[in-house]
């Protein structure tokens, strides 16, 4: 039984200030994975249109996410960094996947329900089809591993369903091309053109929560800026937001069990652990029994220590948009070549004449 060549893919939307959730849930993992993997990291600008069509500052937003990738330590020469709209093959494969995915599957997507809210009739068709484009983003490179935050888990399951249905429906067309690989899905052998993507959602902070409400995800679109730490926040802002973060009156527990039912405490300990590259248990063995008045200043110091160099480098990079655009153009060209190879194979499998 052969395996698909490991390839890491992930993307971030240029829809506002990047925050600590995006950093710990995604970008920090991107940096670690590039050591031992071939990686493609994408600014998913076409996804940005799904919730809001017109963005006055789209070019700045795209450059700012790219600057965050580079400032965090992603090497655009060894790997590929680009913006999605430079590779039209994503949209082409998404159309095919729109025809593979079933309405019933899409209706189960909780992110659509959350983002569309009560006025679902007014949500864009793009928002509904978002997970199909996300599947195409990944599978147009036949990528195998996707580092994401916990909120994206359901979309990756959908990507697996789409890949599986494509593999099964086109089985008899894939076999003669010799492009398929025999893989096992559970105990089932499947002749696959598209791999079953593996989400990489580990670590102590797979879902960073709002600093104002430990039951809500930290999010770019939260109207309260105090709910999140932005990557561009300076030392003073970071300090103020952590000092004002919601907590409960109790001291920190000594065991992780004691975090149950204490969402805000759990969130701050998880953030500390992720920033320090430790487990929550390690953090509690150091701070168990301490009040937040002791823990919060330590968290502020750590957050500033980790984020200040990224913040400074992002600012430096943003002063040279020409350099950022050159990185994106170079990455776009390399990504396009890979994506076009896949699309030619997909066109042949489907039977499109070319
Ligand atoms: N709170 C979070 N904790 C951990 N990971 C997170 N991610 C987002 N929020 C958290 C991860 O960041 C990556 C990029 O996300 P995105 O920009 O593509 O979209 P998003 O998930 O919609 O981000 P936001 O900030 O929550 O935006 P809005 O407010 O528009 O919904 C993904 O890997 C995501 O999992």
Asked: is 225-317 a CATH 1.10.240.10 domain? The reply is yes
- Would you call 280 a catalytic residue per the annotation? no
In angstroms, the CA 126 to CA 298 distance is 43
In angstroms, the CA 145 to CA 159 distance is 12
In angstroms, the CA 308 to CA 312 distance is 6
Q: Which of 153, 165, 212, 220 is catalytic?
A: 220
In angstroms, the CA 79 to CA 315 distance is 22
Check residue 221 and give its pLDDT.
83
**Owner of token pair 């953090």:** 283
Check residue 168 and give its pLDDT.
96
Helix then strand count (H, E) for the chain reads: 14, 7
State which of 22, 33, 148 you would mutate to test the pocket of ligand 1, scoring each by most atoms of that ligand within 8 A of its C-beta: 22
CA-proximal residue: ligand 1, atom 21 (nearest): 151
Pairing of strands 39-43, 80-83: parallel
Indicate whether residue 138 lines ligand 1 (CB < 6 A): no
Per-position DSSP letters for 7-37, written without gaps between them:
-EEEEE--SS--BHHHIIIIIHHHHHHTTTS
Q: Which two tokens stand for residue 36?
A: 């031992």
Superfamily of domain 8-204+321-350: HUPs (3.40.50.620)
Closest listed residue to residue 252, CA positions, set 272, 276, 228, 237: 272
Check residue 202 and give its pLDDT.
87
| Residue 60 CA to ligand 1 centre (angstroms) | 19
Closest listed residue to residue 76, CA positions, set 35, 40, 46: 40
What pTM was estimated for this model as a whole? 0.95
Q: Which two tokens stand for residue 351?
A: 């039977």
Can you give the residue ranges of every domain in the chain? 8-204+321-350, 225-317
Closest listed residue to residue 61, CA positions, set 47, 73, 74, 43: 43
Q: Is 183 helix (H, G, I), strand (E, B) or coil?
A: strand
State which of 21, 24, 48, 231 you would mutate to test the pocket of ligand 1, scoring each by most atoms of that ligand within 8 A of its C-beta: 21
Check residue 2 and give its pLDDT.
66
Mean pLDDT per 10-residue section of the chain, whose length is 354 residues: 88 94 95 97 98 95 98 98 98 98 98 92 97 98 96 97 97 95 89 97 92 95 94 96 97 97 98 96 97 98 97 97 98 98 98 96
- Would you call 341 a catalytic residue per the annotation? no
Indicate whether residue 20 lines ligand 1 (CB < 6 A): no
Atom of ligand 1 nearest to the CA of 218: 1
Check residue 1 and give its pLDDT.
57
Indicate whether residue 210 lines ligand 1 (CB < 6 A): no
Instruction: Identify the burial level of 352 via C-beta atoms within 10 angstroms of its C-beta, where 0-12 means exposed, 13-18 middle and 19 or more buried.
Output: exposed
Indicate whether residue 15 lines ligand 1 (CB < 6 A): yes
Paired strand residues for 192: 181
């Amino acid at each position: 039984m052969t395996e698909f060549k490991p390839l890491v893919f992930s993307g971030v939307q240029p829809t506002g200030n990047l925050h600590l959730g995006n950093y710990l849930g995604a970008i920090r993992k991107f940096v670690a994975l590039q050591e031992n993997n071939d990686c493609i990291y994408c600014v998913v600008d076409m996804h940005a249109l799904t919730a809001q069509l017109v963005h006055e500052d789209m070019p700045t937003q795209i450059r700012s996410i790219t600057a965050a990738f580079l400032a965090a330590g992603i090497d655009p020469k060894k790997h590929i960094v680009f913006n999605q709209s430079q590779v039209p093959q994503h949209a082409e494969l998404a159309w095919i996947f729109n025809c593979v995915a079933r309405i019933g599957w899409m209706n189960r997507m909780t992110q659509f329900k959350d983002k569309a809210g009560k006025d679902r009739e007014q949500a864009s068709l793009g928002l509904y089809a978002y997970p199909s484009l996300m599947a195409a983003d990944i599978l147009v490179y036949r990528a195998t591993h996707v580092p994401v935050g916990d909120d994206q888990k359901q979309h990756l399951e959908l990507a697996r369903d789409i890949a599986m249905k494509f593999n099964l429906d086109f089985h008899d067309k894939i076999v003669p091309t010799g492009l398929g690989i025999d893989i096992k899905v559970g105990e089932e052998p499947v002749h696959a053109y598209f791999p079953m993507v593996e989400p990489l959602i580990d670590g102590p902070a797979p879902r960073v929560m709002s600093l104002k409400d430990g039951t809500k995800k930290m999010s770019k679109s939260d109207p309260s800026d105090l709910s999140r730490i932005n990557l561009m926040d300076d030392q003073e802002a970071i300090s103020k937001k952590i000092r004002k973060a919601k907590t409960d009156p109790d001291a920190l527990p000594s065991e992780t069990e004691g975090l149950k039912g204490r969402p805000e405490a759990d969130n701050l300990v998880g953030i500390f652990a992720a920033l320090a590259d430790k487990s929550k248990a390690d953090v509690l063995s150091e701070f168990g029994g301490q009040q937040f008045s002791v823990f919060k200043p330590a968290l502020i110091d750590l957050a500033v220590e980790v984020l200040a160099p990224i913040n400074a480098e992002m600012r430096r990079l943003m002063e040279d948009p020409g350099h950022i655009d050159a990185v994106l153009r170079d990455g776009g060209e390399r990504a396009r070549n890979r994506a076009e190879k896949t699309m030619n194979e997909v066109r042949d499998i489907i039977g499109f004449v070319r």
